[in-house]
Amino acid sequence: MTIDIIKKAKTIFWDFDGVIKESVKVKSDAFEKLFSPFGSRLAKKVREHHEKNGGVSRYEKFPIYLNWVGEHITKEKLDYYEKSFSSLVKKKVIDSPWVEGAKEYLQQYYTKQLFFLVTATPQLEIEEILKQLDISHFFKTVIGSPTKKKDALKKLIIKYQIDIKDAIMLGDSFSDFDAAKFNNIEFVLRKTDMNKKLQLFNMHQSLENLNG
């Protein structure tokens, strides 16, 4: 069983949205709402792109979407969209349901395994979310954007001299899969309705929840 493989790992790199919290739809809804003033068709296009590129930082997505609507991209405009997006999602992410078994697994095993959190959510925002959820202490280190996930894993592996043979990346997106592959770490997929294409690879372990 995959849950047993997770338990055997000495180090787990965790993604957040879709792995710890059922918060992926929250982000999709926010992107669509933010760009709805440009029309429902464009807003839907933004949503679909976001969902196909789950785990990619919003910092990389906003320039693409602003280009689609013909907006001149400036630092001020990017800051405006970032702050607007953050205000839409932060409380909803905190209030979203836990992935089944995730909180219990963190509570039970954080003293027995080494946990790191690697996410595309901006650094200060994820730190505030974890603080509100009272789960910061489960993780040795938390790295959010703008650091790319593959670079975050590499940095942590070197800093903590992690044996990659005993480590896994637990994620739900291609960016998680790519980060694991780049660092020669086993990838474990948390299956959702939004990553069916990734499920088709069938080259990795997968699970639906963290019970067991």
Q: How far apart are CA 157 and CA 183, in angstroms?
A: 9
SS3 category, 142:
strand
Structure tokens at 43: 């807003």
Q: How far apart are CA 205 and CA 159, in angstroms?
A: 27
Residue-level pLDDT, tens digit, the chain, 212 residues: 578 889 999 999 999 999 999 999 999 999 999 999 999 999 999 999 998 888 888 999 999 999 999 999 999 999 999 999 999 999 999 999 999 999 999 999 999 999 999 999 999 999 999 999 999 999 999 999 999 999 999 999 999 999 999 999 999 999 999 999 999 999 999 998 888 888 887 577 899 999 86
Q: At what angle do helices 75-95 and 58-68 cross, to 10 degrees?
A: 120
* pLDDT value of position 80: 94
* pLDDT value of position 202: 58
Give the pTM: 0.90
* pLDDT value of position 198: 86
Question: What element of type H or E holds 115?
Answer: strand 114-122
Burial of 38 (0-12, 13-18, 19+ CB in 10 A): middle
* pLDDT value of position 52: 87
User: Diameter of the chain by CA atoms?
Assistant: 51
> Which own/partner contact pairs does 77-80 have at CB distance under 8 Å and 24+ positions apart?
none
Q: How far apart are CA 192 and CA 208, in angstroms?
A: 7
